[in-house]
Amino acid sequence: MTAQAAPVRAPVAALRRVLATPARGERPAGCEMCGAPYAERHSHVVAVDTRELMCTCRPCALLFTSDGAAGGRYRAVPERYLCFPSFTLSRSQWDDLQIPVGMAFLFHNSAMGRVVAFYPSPAGATESELALDAWADLVAANPGLTTLAADVEALLIRVVDDVVGCHLVPIDRCYELVGHLRQHWRGFDGGSEAHQHIDAFFADIAARARPAP
């Protein structure tokens, strides 16, 4: 074996292990594909069928950046942040989404073949039935939303005092928000600590986002 051939075998072996092993709930100390250690800030890969996030090293995540990699069973979460300055959402459209709180994230689930909506709560992420007409109306009013990548990106919507903000974010950031709520929410209204974490979270999202084309 030549020195040039060695880097090729490692990702192929990792790919075979991933295809042979179902996604797991427990997070190991190393990459869930090859076992290599990774930094605190690391990559994620979505197991499409189960919607589970897998913690991975950067080289393994790169295996799944192309459409159709691993037969579409796994997809790497990108690092794209977009904002929609001209985003519009009427009160009736918001009601049609059937979200009982002022925050929600929507993403296209390719396994189900439709867009699903979740809203964060102290108990975790709660799914809301999203009518196809409601999504179609939202896209018709905001054509830029079609840039959303299935399974790995989400539209994160927040309504504060009738001011609506919408960002396209990596799907793992949405579950990070859910984690903040579960950890810090106290009482009926969450308490000041929870709201401080939420405000800081959305400030970070806004700082990272660039206007959508």
Residue 189: HSE in the Cβ half-sphere, 13 Å Cα cutoff: 4
**Domain ranges, ordered by start, for the chain:** 6-76, 82-211
Helix (H, G, I), strand (E, B) or coil at 59: helix
Position 14 pLDDT exceeds 70: no
Decide which of 12 and 203 is more confident. Answer: 203
- Other beta carbons less than 10 A from residue 169's beta carbon: 25
Concatenated DSSP letters of 89-157: --HHHHHHTT--SSEEEEEEETTTTEEEEEEEETTEEEEE---HHHHHHHHHH-GGGGGPPTTTEEEEE
Q: What is the pLDDT of residues 63-90, one digit of tens each?
A: 999 877 788 889 999 999 999 999 998 8
Q: Of 39-43, 155-159, 160-164, 187-191, where does mean pLDDT reach its minimum? A: 187-191
Q: How confident is the model at residue 191 (pLDDT cuts 50, 70, 90)?
A: confident
